Structure 1
Amino acid sequence: MKNKKVALYGGSFSPPHLGHASVIEALLRLFPCDEIWVMLSADRKDKQITADGKNRIKMLELMINELFPDAKIPILISDFELKLNKPTATYETLRLLKEKYPDHTFNFVLGSDNLRIIETEWVNGERLFQEADFLALKNPLIPLPKKLPPHITILNDVAWTNISSTFVRKLIAQGHSGIPYLTKGVAEYIKSNSLYK
């Protein structure tokens, strides 16, 4: 397998919404790479996921096919972390990925607001800060911290949104379709499978 430059975008995606889509759009437009991997997280203490991996993969497939049918590079849905079958810290996930794909370069996508907490709040944060290749989407409302990781690319021209999966799940639980925050296909899938009720 040849060396690939990968934009690695992880999250719970429960459900995947237009805020997630805006990140993928920014990566396609602003970051030259060979592939975008959208990686679903396993259950995490800090995230209430509430839909299983199979449903989240299907919703991601629907959203990506609806919004990015002509993407110039592959947008791949990765179940790598799901298959670990346990919550995994970012540092450990990246270590395991590099072990499995030693010739790939993984650029870890995150919001720039997270840069200031990596070292202090993330598991193995100091090592992660020094060793990982970060791809930070600039939040226009929050200045960048003075101290940045040594291996970082900042993407500036990003359509920033405050939509969250938690917000969308609450709307759906109240009987709302989730549109305009979801694509039509994702909203219909949620309804037909009675998710987030």
Structure 2
Amino acid sequence: MKIGLYFGTFNPIHVGHLIIANHMAEHSVLEQIWMVVTPHNPHKEKNTLLDDRQRFHMVSLATEDYPKIKPSDIEFKLPQPNYTVNTLAHLKDKFPHHEFSLIMGEDNLKSLHKWKNYEYILENHDIYVYPRISESTDTETSSILNHLRVHKINAPIVEISSTFIRENIKNKKNIQPLLSEKVWKEIDHNNYYRK
């Protein structure tokens, strides 16, 4: 099975994430999309990052009605700090019959050359890129963007950020349209991001 891995802190998961994941599931060769919840990096300040399990629970709620989109806590079980190349190796061992690809925004692709063992990732895994509103591409990014393993998907441009949602919840603004109903109820019920 062809699996697309969509990594994120999902703090919180919002409709933008779902639009992109669903678009990848419906308009690419990927058969399933796994929303991989990134654990809290022990070397970074926690700030407004909810607990790993709370964020995973919200991703589970948000994806319940999408049979091709699954929540994944695979990185919770790996040593921290973790690198994507290690996650991919772990998944290959655990699910040898699946073919894993990465899903990322054009903005993230620009820093791919800074990732640990990025050449190995490019040689062994397809990368599906969704468009973002961003500045022009430099030569380093151009060579990666034109790599045989990199596939630009004509997905809708969604400029919603979790930061924007958290700030607006804190400021008592109504952001319900930006979240799935189940996620909004979970945030509201538990008073997440209010302080």
| TM-score class normalised by the smaller sequence | 0.7 to 0.9
Counterpart residue number, 2:156: 159
1:147 paired residue number: 143
Q: What corresponds to 1:61 in structure 2?
A: 60
Q: In the alignment, does 2:96 pair up with 1:98?
A: no
Residue aligned with 2:142, SS: coil
Residue 107 of structure 1 is aligned with which of 93, 101, 104? 101
Instruction: Give the RMSD, CA atoms, in angstroms.
Output: 2.3
TM-score for the superposition, normalised by structure 1: 0.83
Question: How far apart are 1:127 and its partner, in Å?
Answer: 3.0
In the other structure, the counterpart of 2:32 is 35
Match of 2:16 in 1: 19
In structure 1, distance between residues paired with 2:38 and 2:48 = 9
1:43–1:49 Cα contact (<8 Å) kept: no
How far is the alpha carbon of 1:105 from its aligned partner? 0.6
**Residue identity matched to 1:195:** Y
Give the TM-score normalised by the residue count of structure 2.
Answer: 0.84
| Structure 1 residue matching 2:177: 3-state secondary structure | coil
Task: Write the distance in 2 (CA, Å) between the matches of 1:8 and 1:135.
Answer: 9
Q: Is the contact between residue 22 and residue 160 of structure 1 (CA under 8 Å) also seen in structure 2?
A: no
* 1:131 to 1:42, Cα distance in 2 relative to 1, 3 A: same
Structure 2: unaligned runs, 5 residues or longer: none
Change (3 A) 1:34 1:20: same
* AA aligned opposite 1:187: W
Aligned to 1:9, which of 2, 6, 22?
Answer: 6
Superposed displacement of residue 47, structure 1: 8.3
What residue in structure 2 maps to residue 78 of structure 1? 72
CA shift for structure 1 position 117: 1.7
Out of 177, 180, 185, the position equivalent to 1:180 is 177
**Structure 1 unpaired stretches of 5+:** none
CA 1:17 to 1:188, structure 2 compared with 1: closer, same or farther past 3 Å? same
Offset at 1:54?
2.1
The residue aligned with 2:193 is 196
Are residues 164 and 48 of structure 1, via their aligned partners in 2, closer, same or farther at CA, if it must alter by over 3 Å? farther
Instruction: Quote the sequence identity (%).
Output: 29
Indicate how the Cα distance of structure 1 residues 128 and 137 shifts in structure 2: closer, same or farther if over 3 A, else same: same
Q: Is the 8 A contact 2:8 2:38 kept in 1?
A: yes
Residues 23/118 of structure 1: CA separation in 2 closer, same or farther (3 Å cut): same
For residue 19 of structure 1, what is the amino acid of its counterpart? G
Distance of aligned partners of 1:10 and 1:115 in 2 relative to their CA distance in 1, 3 Å threshold: same
What is the CA–CA distance in structure 2 between the aligned matches of 1:46 and 1:89, rounded to whole Å? 18
Q: Does 1:136 align with 2:129?
A: yes
> What amino acid does structure 2 have at the position aligned with 1:26?
H
